[in-house]
Chains A and B, each alone.
Chain A
Amino acid sequence: MEKGTVSQVDTGLTQMALNRERTKVPVRFVSQLNWKQNVTGYVFVLPWIIGFLCLTAGPLLFSLYASFTDYNITSKMNFIGLENYKRMFTMDDMFWTSLWNTIYYVVFSVPLTTIGAIFVAVLLNQKVKGMRIFRTIFYLPAILSGVAVYFLWMQLLSPSTGLVNQFLHIFGIEGPSWLFDPNWTKPALILMKLWGVGGGMLLYLGRMQGIAPSLYEAADLDGANSLEKFFHITLPMITPIIFFDVVTSTIGSFQIFQEAYVMTQNGEGGPSNSLLFYNLHMWNNAFKSFDMGYASAMAWFLFGIIMVLTFINLKAGRKWVYYEGGDGK
């Protein structure tokens, strides 16, 4: 193998030398051309570089440093070592509450929305009358977002007059108080999330439509039934999407904020703090008590959790994600 690499490099160099020989371009001209091209290239990507330095990299480093200080916007930044982290882990009960609420939400919402999206995509990938209309209807809720949607769900989930409990009433089920019962607030948000499952569905559907029909035809010849075809053809082929979906929706779900802020009266946390999510707690620390140092420490701790999870996801993904035409990497 080593030999192969060496000879590859070797032929590459030879090829380059030959090319230069053949075109007879003076070395100085080539480097001048490269120089000009380099500058043009950087001019084109400059806006992104400025954005990256000013809005991403710089802020990241600043908040890392701020997390070791008692900064509150008006004060000087006094270095206080690990005090903020100590306070977080040992003195702030709400930190643990918010972390627990967030993990609860991630653990249920990510698998449920992923499985829901795949299920709906399979249904929408069949040859049935009216499919275009069905696809539109299933996708529509996914594009609706913002305060209006949260209001709608507060109305739907209202304990006595809400549509959901009215519906359950028909079957003689006494519906829970949803957003007023600490045990049901998080399921309420997950229910709302599932309404927009069509967003993920579209990714899966796009991928499913790219699967070669010959694979299914071959399975038909072997007498495979629909379930077997799903588990042995469809599912392996959509693993790259599942992988991407799980990675990004885990990151997204950890950052749940807007819904909880609107549905709990300006971010107070809801009944028994059951909707006090991590970012809500961080927000309250940063922008209500202006405890920027402490809030930065919270931000970096969450960043750490997300990095570790993403890393695990990427590592584990190599084991179960199937790339067509790839070497299994």
Chain B
Amino acid sequence: MRLAGSLERKKKFSFKNLLVFLILLVGSMVLLTPLCWMILTSLKSPQEIMQYPPPFLPQKFHFSNYLEAWKTGNFTRWSLNTLLIAVMNTIGNVLVNSFVAYGFAKIRFKGRNVLFILVLSTMLLPGFVTMIPQYILFSKLGWVNTYLPLIVPAFLGSAFNIFLLRQFMMTIPNEIAEAAIMDGANHFRIWWTITMPLIKPALITVAIFSFTGAWNDLLGPLLYLSDENLYTLQLGLQTFKGSVQTQWNYLMAMSVMVLIPTILIFFIFQRYFIKGANVSAGMKG
């Protein structure tokens, strides 16, 4: 009787697995179809776009759509602009947030805990509340139509990244720093030569999120850039729509190109995305 019971359970178990597998398979197809559709649409001829019902596959792959679309706007310039902003954001976030995080993780100073609670509470602050006064501040400084409003804030710390890097630094035993101090090193050297190499995975996580965040940001460029030569890809793409109207093959071709860097980064650094998520999962525990 006991044996029968366990056999039954085993059978049920594999049926459940099959069900899970099928749901995941269907779900994956549903999630991937939009991306496939995007790529297929980008390769269609203008006639096929207008056709009803639209064919799923184009008769011929019109790779020339990509070149045509690229030439419609100043996309080369816009890509370089975006790259510059994204790289500067990455550098700022990695350097400054690790520096600040070191202060919170490894140095005891008066008011540290109060300040750190302040850091955490700014994570709950809705960004839109400070958007208008920040715009006024930057416009009074004459920074409108420059990249400064999109770059300088990255050098002034971000609460989430400070928190994430501090969590990692807390796992480094204090003895290492203490020994270094005995040897005459100061905190700046310990931060740069000991701590930074030890938290490399976390720094990569921060770098990835900063880069893709800046790459995909529309709000900042929309607010501060009106000179077309200064446009980023997101802003260029947004205005590009007006110039090609319903030429979805061109729109999708450009969209695919704008998404490619993010997708590449995702596949190269996949495990670091997951690491970042796990740290934030841990903090809520």
A and B: partners?
Answer: yes
Q: CA–CA, A134 to B25, complex, Å? A: 8
Please determine whether A144 and B263 come into contact, CB atoms closer than 8 angstroms: yes
A79 at the B interface (CB under 8 A):
no
Contact residues in A for B273 (Cβ distance below 8 Å): 139, 143, 202
Contact residues in B for A50 (Cβ distance below 8 Å): 156
B100 at the A interface (CB under 8 A):
yes
Q: Count residues of chain A with CB under 8 A from any CB of chain B.
A: 95
DSSP majority for the B interface?
helix
Query: B69: shortest Cβ distance to chain A, in Å?
Result: 12
> Interface digits, A230-248 against B, CB 8 Å rule (1 contact, 0 not)?
0000000000110110011
Contact residues in B for A206 (Cβ distance below 8 Å): 274, 277-278, 281-282
B171 at the A interface (CB under 8 A):
no
Please determine whether A258 and B218 come into contact, CB atoms closer than 8 angstroms: yes
Please determine whether B153 and A51 come into contact, CB atoms closer than 8 angstroms: yes
Please determine whether B34 and A66 come into contact, CB atoms closer than 8 angstroms: no
Across the interface, B129 reaches (CB within 8 A) one of A134, A302, A324, namely A302
B20 at the A interface (CB under 8 A):
yes
Across the interface, B223 reaches (CB within 8 A) one of A47, A287, A299, A303, namely A287
Please determine whether B157 and A51 come into contact, CB atoms closer than 8 angstroms: yes
Q: CA–CA, A279 to B130, complex, Å? A: 12
Across the interface, B24 reaches (CB within 8 A) one of A40, A127, A128, A169, namely A128
Contact residues in B for A188 (Cβ distance below 8 Å): none
Q: CA–CA, A244 to B279, complex, Å? A: 13
Given A55-B156, A59-B137, A292-B136 in contact, is the A195-B258 Cβ separation under 8 Å? no
Contact residues in A for B102 (Cβ distance below 8 Å): 44
A32 at the B interface (CB under 8 A):
no
Please determine whether A126 and B17 come into contact, CB atoms closer than 8 angstroms: yes
Across the interface, B34 reaches (CB within 8 A) one of A40, A163, A261, A310, namely A163
Please determine whether A128 and B137 come into contact, CB atoms closer than 8 angstroms: no
Please determine whether B109 and A244 come into contact, CB atoms closer than 8 angstroms: no
Please determine whether B259 and A144 come into contact, CB atoms closer than 8 angstroms: yes
Q: CA–CA, A144 to B112, complex, Å? A: 37
Given A63-B133, A202-B274, A324-B285 in contact, is the A47-B251 Cβ separation under 8 Å? no
Please determine whether A124 and B100 come into contact, CB atoms closer than 8 angstroms: no
12 contacts between A and B (CB under 8 A): A42-B103, A51-B156, A54-B137, A73-B139, A134-B24, A148-B254, A155-B248, A161-B52, A202-B281, A210-B282, A240-B284, A258-B219
